Amino acid sequence: MKRLHTATLCLVLLSGSVARAEPAKLNLLLLTGQNNHAWQQTTPALKQLLESSGRFKVDVTEHPEACTAESLAPYDVLLSNWNAWGDDVAVKEWPEATRSAMLDFVRNGKGLAIIHAGSSSFYGWKEYHQMVGAAWDLGRTGHGSPHQFYVWVTDPGHPITHGMKLFLTRDELWHRTGVQPGVTALATAFSAPETGGSGQQEPLVLANDFGKGRCFNLVLGHDARAMASAGFRSLLCRGTEWAATGEVTIPVGDLSLSDEELDFVLSQLRTYRPADRHEVLLALEYHLGCVANTDRAAAAAQRLLAFVADTQAALDGRQFALRQLSLVGSAGSVQALAALLTDKDLGLYARFALERIQGDEASAAMRAALQAASGMQRVGLLNALGARRDEQAVSLLAGLTNDADISTATAALAALGRVGTAEALQALSASEAAMPAVLRPAHTRALLRCAEGLLAKKQAGTAKPVYAKLLIAAQPDCMRAAAFVGLAACENAKRGEFVTGAMNGDDKVLRGAAVRVLRDSDDGSLLRSAAERLESLPPEVQAPVIALLQARGEAASLPVVAKAAASGAAAVRRAALIALSTLGDASSVAVLAEAAGSADPTERNLATEALSCLPGETTETAIVAALGKSAPAAQRQLIRALGSRSARAAVPALLALAESKAEAEVRAEALDAVGQLGDATVCERLLPMLAGATDGDRGPLEQALVALCSRTGTTKPVAAALPGAADPCKISLIAVLGSVGGADALEAVRAAAKAPAGEVRSAAIKALSGWADAGPLDDLLTVATETKDATLKVLALRGVARLVPLAGGRSPEVLLRFVTTAMGATDRPDEKKALLSALGSLPSLPAMNSAQEYQKDPVLADEAALAALQIADRIFRQHLTETEALARQQQDSPTPALRERAVALLLKISKADNLAFGATATSPDGIDKDGAASGDQAAIDDDPATYWDEADGQKLYVLRVQLQQPAKVSVIRILGYQQHSYAPKDFEVVCDDKVVKKVEGAQYQDNLLTVALPETECTIVELRITGYYGQSPAIRELGIFSRVPGAKRG
């Protein structure tokens, strides 16, 4: 059914005759003709859905293998309803020209959309699977029979799903789909075990970028019936438009439930229990929110009333349905709801619905019920009538204000207060004389509420005496403050005098209330009047008044605020300093400079922050002028403010200060600012300063030069100065060049490294060893193999070890020669171990074999074994036999780190089954989940994008996994949140309440920790975590494995 909602209608009416240009249609090519699904039925359905959106012109090809770059060129987006699944298909592979054409089509900025199994092809084509983002994963993915389930939007901020929340569909639900790294899941559904599912949330809508283009993957759409779902239609059109353009203009459309879908939801609600999944509740609530205030609301209300009348339905479901009647109920629902008001199980929920149904019918029903009600039912009805501000209930309410039941009398008083009419006030006043002491606070609150209601109705004259009465000292402070605010609102002509008098008075409660009046008033004259009298006000009033002046941008109050910065009260001074940051100008610099030299660190920082933000074209000139007049402590803050302001015009003054005889800390601060603000020409001023600098000044000068050269992108002035400089200056210049790097710097430092033995040569080799890239690798190897100087040799060898992993442009074979040559140049174990660490970065079989050779040296055995395993971890797919042999050799190592690394590698090689799949995760520690954590099951959902985490800083965290059946467990693997940040560190592994392993100081490799266990048969595996990296022990994935095939027991 097509409907025009009220908001849409208003927009149409307001737009008048102004025509809006419709976007041009997008050209779409639908790929079909072969699929293990009924493509003959789904292809026309897809074409019709896309074209009916008005956004697409659709062409169809049943031979996508014949596509070329030329034939694809006219299209904006491709949609795949084609796959090569099965052994007997006509087309198993595409020609290379077609493959390249499709990749280039998307990579160069166009789009690809995938429907259901439209990506389940080409399992040897890596780029295709990176592009499509998700596909059936051979050996892992599965599904049950088509059934109804709820689809939840998990990324409402994405253009495709923006404005969507959830919908119900009948479709085939895949589980454990193979999703590529970096692909965003926009919507998921729970794959229930009873329907043949995984027991996990499974991704159904995915989006990813590929080059300049985009891919949208919709796993829904098993058949034409599934494609008739409103949610599928919306996602298909919006996702395909996004793939084509990166934007979405197609509206979400109506995702409310059809009659058939509502039947399904109500059938689930009929057996609902609080321990069940809450999807049914949220789906019904969302549907009713969609149909509320439309012509479908009455029918929805009748369905709910009929459901509530079914006494065989679950009580929790009937109670929920009654609450939802507040969304769609009307006068026609009142009689049925009124009949339930006295029901002990349903009365509360019936009243909840009635309270929100507009019209006197609902109020009359509750008034009638009130007369026969008692206890908490009567209190609830009183509250509801008060919430509805039912003026016709005043006489009933008045009769209950002195009821013997205190709860009833309190509720009646509160309801009269909320009604807020002259009649209600009269009833409250009439009951006051006989009011017992226990009810007087409730009576006072009701009077205040009633006065507020009268004031809102423009009856200030009636409200004023009530406020005046409540202002007396005998009333609680909160009541007096509220009464003052109300009375000020009644005092139109004398409001300013009234408020000012309170601010100057001795009554602290009224002073605070007066400030609240200033804050809430739209009358700017009140605040300006207070500003004029600021100095005469008490300090506790001055500070909030200054804050209000700043918030309102009262620039005219600047002289008053500037004077307040010298107040004797710290709170006033600080408020003024904060306000000057936005109200001040160049004239405020002197005041702020004085405060910048304060002994109080808070005021000093506030002044500096204000100087950094101070507006005005001449402000920076004023700050520079203040530099020469200020004490050293203030000078440092003024310099920092200039740096924060990026005040490049201040550089000459800063240079002069750096060259002066100012205090060393001031000179250092000036040099730091020069490094932030200067240009390349400033180097010419700093280099002579470096030549004559003392040891204490060299550090700041070097840092300034590093900052300048890094920011300007050149080291030429520094490199040019190096040859002619004195030795102490040369050492500083070499340090600068080493920190900045680059070709010019490298050439200059290389030359310095050839100097005769001495401090200059040592400094040059040290700089080369710490270089940011592998440029000096050859130089360092030459020094390492030729020098007789032991210190230089150590520096060079450590440099080789550091730079080899950075030499990505050289082949592993070349770098292996570097390492072996360097190893032969030293007998020192420390350098050899460093070189073995570098060897571990070379992904080649010869490098792994070389590392194994070094294992023969007992001093180097562990480091060599670790290097070999690191290499094996990167090359095992190409060299399975050799790497598996190495891993099996090391799985019995006496060194735990080597043993666990070997087991981790064997897990990868053997592709061992993860026992956690299909298991149930819980946290019996009673700690709430933390941050964006996804709950307990996220730890074992095979999705690294989700994670388990709980509130920070606890002494014990427990994660328990119950396996589907007893199994022999010998290995666990933990993927932390990130490397040594928010991950378990110290923990016990417990199998069926027996501690089988204690881990202390866990060391992760690439955020992965593998722990070998004594083989233990169990049903429950538990981590009891007492130490962690970061603030809590987050886990992205916990893997649980039986004995690795062929492995020995841990």
Instruction: Convert the pLDDT of each residue in 165-218 to its tens digit.
Output: 999 999 999 999 989 888 889 999 999 999 999 888 999 999 999 999 999 999
Write down the pTM of the prediction. Answer: 0.67
Task: Find the Cα–Cα–Cα–Cα dihedral 57, 63, 66, 72, rounded to 10°.
Answer: 10
- Which class is domain 25-245? alpha beta
- Sheet of 201-210, strand order: 56-61, 26-31, 77-80, 111-115, 213-218, 201-210, 184-190, 147-153, 166-171
Question: What pLDDT digit, counting tens, does each position of 736-756 carry?
Answer: 999 999 999 999 999 999 988
Give me the residues paired with residue 61 across strands. Answer: 31
Three-state SS for 991?
strand
Q: Provide the pLDDT for residue 17.
A: 40
- Alpha-carbon span 523 to 153, nearest angstrom: 46
Higher-pLDDT residue of 935, 553: 553
Q: At residue 290, does pLDDT exceed 70? A: yes
Q: Do domains 773-909 and 912-1041 have the same CATH topology?
A: no
The pLDDT of 461-472, averaged and rounded, is: 93
Mean pLDDT of the 996-1003 span: 94
For the record, the structure tokens of 67 come out as: 């596509």
Task: Could you please state the CATH topology (level 3) that the domain comprising 773-909 is classified under.
Answer: 1.25.40
Q: Which of 276, 323, 277 is nearest to 150 (CA)?
A: 277
Average pLDDT of the chain, as a whole number: 92
N-to-C CA span, the chain: 65
3-class SS of residue 620: helix
Residue 21 pLDDT level (bands cut at 50, 70, 90): low
Give the pLDDT of residue 14: 35
Higher pLDDT: 2 or 261? It is 261
Is the confidence at residue 716, as pLDDT, over 60?
A: yes
DSSP β-bridge partners for residue 972: 1011, 1040
Task: Look at residues 722, 759, 725 and name the one whose alpha carbon lies nearest to residue 737.
Answer: 722
**CA–CA dist 184, 242 (Å, integer):** 14
- Does residue 1040 register a pLDDT over 80? yes
CATH superfamily label, 912-1041 = Galactose-binding domain-like (2.60.120.260)
CB-CB contact of 165 with 257 (8 Å): no
Residue 14 burial class via C-beta count within 10 angstroms: exposed 0-12, middle 13-18, buried 19 and up: exposed
Collect all residues with Cβ–Cβ distance below 8 Å to 567 and sequence separation of at least 6: 539, 542, 573, 576
Provide the pLDDT for residue 1044: 66
620-657: per-residue pLDDT in tens?
999 999 998 999 999 999 999 999 999 999 999 999 99
Question: How far apart are alpha carbons 443 and 771 in whole angstroms?
Answer: 79
- Could you give the CA distance from residue 614 to residue 500 in angstroms, rounded to a whole number? 31
- In tens, the pLDDT along 500-527 reads 899 999 999 999 999 999 999 888 888 9
The answer to whether residues 647 and 623 touch, using CB atoms and an 8 Å cutoff, is yes
Share of the chain above pLDDT 90, in %: 83
Dist CA 378 CA 367 (whole Å): 10
When pLDDT is cut at 50, 70 and 90, the band that residue 1045 belongs to is low
151 and 104 Cβ atoms separated by less than 8 Å = no
Bridge partners of residue 1012, in order along the sequence: 971
391-402 tens-digit pLDDT: 999 999 999 999
What is the structure's pLDDT at 910? Answer: 76
Q: What is the pLDDT of residue 10?
A: 34
Mean pLDDT along residues 462-469: 94
Q: What is the pLDDT of residue 892?
A: 84
Q: Average pLDDT, stretch 230-254?
A: 97
Q: What digits encode the pLDDT tens for the residues 490-503?
A: 987 788 889 989 99
**For residue 986, pLDDT beyond 70:** yes
How far, in whole angstroms, is CA 256 from its chain's centroid?
A: 30
- C-alpha 58/C-alpha 731 separation (Å) is 71
Does the pLDDT value for residue 726 go beyond 60?
yes
**Does residue 1047 carry a pLDDT above 50?**
no
In the chain, what are the domain boundaries?
Answer: 25-245, 494-570, 773-909, 912-1041
Q: Is it the case that residue 12 has pLDDT exceeding 80?
A: no
pLDDT tens digits, residue range 44-93?
999 999 999 999 999 999 999 999 999 999 999 999 999 999 888 999 99
- Report the distance separating Cα 505 and Cα 533, nearest Å: 13
Contacts of 233 (CB under 8 A, 6+ apart): 49, 227, 253
Residue 425 has pLDDT above 90, yes or no: yes
